[in-house]
Structure 1
Amino acid sequence: MKLETLLRRSLTEWSAEATVPAGLAERALRRRVRRRVRTVALATGGAALAAAVAVTAGLERKPASPPAPRPATRPTPADTSLHADPAHSPPVRLVAAGRIAMSAYYVTHRAKNGVTASSQRTWYVYDPAVGRYRETPWAYLTVAPGLRQAAVLEGPLPVARVGLLDTRTRKVTRWIPLDHRAGGLSWSADGRRLLVTAYAQNPDLANGPRSSTRTGFSVVDAKTGRPGPFRALPPVTNNPNTRQDLGWSRTGTLIWSPTGTVPNRIFYDLQGRPQAAPPHEAEGDQEAGLSPNGRYVANRNPGSGPGPLTAVKDVTTGRTAGLQPVEQLRAWADDGHLIALACEPKACMGKGEFHNRLVLVSVNGRKITPLTGYQHSDRSGAWVPVFTPR
Structure 2
Amino acid sequence: MNTETYVRRVLDEWSTEARVPVGLADRALGRRRTGRRTTRAVLVVAAAVLLIVAGVTVGVQGGPRPATHPVDTSLRTDPNDAPPKRLVAAGQVALSTYRTLRVSGKKVVYTWYLYDPASGGYRKVPWAWLAVAPGLRQAAVLDGPLPSARVGILDMKTQRVTRWIPLKAAAGGLAWSPDGRRLLVTTYATDPDAQYHQGTGARTGFIMVDPRSGEAHFHRLQFNRADPNGRQDLGWSRDGTLIWATTMSFNPPTRLFYDLNGVRRPAPAHEADSLEEAGISPNGRLIATHGGASPGLGIADTNGRTVSRLPVMQLVAWADDTHLIAVTCDLAKCGGPRTLSYRYVLMSIDGKTTVPLTGYKTLATVDSWDPVFTRR
Provide the residue aligned with 1:145 in structure 2: 134
Provide the residue aligned with 1:169 in structure 2: 158
Distance in 1 of aligned mates of 2:304 and 2:297: 16
Sequence identity, in percent? Answer: 53
- Name which of 78, 82, 86 aligns with 1:93: 86
Question: TM-score w.r.t. structure 2 length?
Answer: 0.78
- The question of whether the paired residues in 1 share the 8 Å contact of 2:282 and 2:318 is answered with yes
How far does the alpha carbon of each residue in 1:272-314 deviate from its partner, in whole angstroms, 9 at most, with x for none? 1111000000011211111111111111145676xxx411101
Question: Rg: which structure is higher?
Answer: 1
- The question of whether the paired residues in 2 share the 8 Å contact of 1:146 and 1:389 is answered with yes
> Is the aligned partner of 1:215 residue 2:201?
no
Question: TM-score w.r.t. structure 1 length?
Answer: 0.75
Moved more, 149-158 or 212-221: 212-221
Provide the residue aligned with 1:104 in structure 2: 97
Aligned length: 307
- The question of whether the paired residues in 2 share the 8 Å contact of 1:299 and 1:310 is answered with yes
Unaligned runs of 5+ in 1: 1-73
Distance 1:75 1:364, change over 3 A: closer
> Is the aligned partner of 1:313 residue 2:314?
no
Distance in 1 of aligned mates of 2:339 and 2:95: 22
Provide the residue aligned with 2:255 in structure 1: 265
- The question of whether the paired residues in 1 share the 8 Å contact of 2:115 and 2:121 is answered with yes
Distance in 1 of aligned mates of 2:339 and 2:241: 38
**Aligned with 1:121: secondary structure?**
strand
Shift of 1:258: 1.0
How far does the alpha carbon of each residue in 1:63-117 deviate from its partner, in whole angstroms, 9 at most, with x for none? xxxxxxxxxxx97722101111011110000111000111000001223x6x6x3
- Map 1:165-204 onto structure 2 (within 5 A): 165-204=154-193
Report which structure shows greater RCO (CA 8 Å, sep ≥6).
2
> Is the aligned partner of 1:279 residue 2:269?
yes
Provide the residue aligned with 2:325 in structure 1: 339
- The question of whether the paired residues in 1 share the 8 Å contact of 2:333 and 2:340 is answered with no
Provide the residue aligned with 2:76 in structure 1: 83
Distance in 1 of aligned mates of 2:248 and 2:237: 18
- The question of whether the paired residues in 1 share the 8 Å contact of 2:112 and 2:128 is answered with yes
Provide the residue aligned with 2:29 in structure 1: none
Provide the residue aligned with 1:234 in structure 2: 222
- The question of whether the paired residues in 2 share the 8 Å contact of 1:343 and 1:352 is answered with no
Shift of 1:347: 3.1
Unaligned runs of 5+ in 2: 1-66
Q: Runs (4+) of structure 1 moved beyond 4 Å? A: 301-305
Shift of 1:190: 0.5
Distance in 2 of aligned mates of 1:301 and 1:278: 21
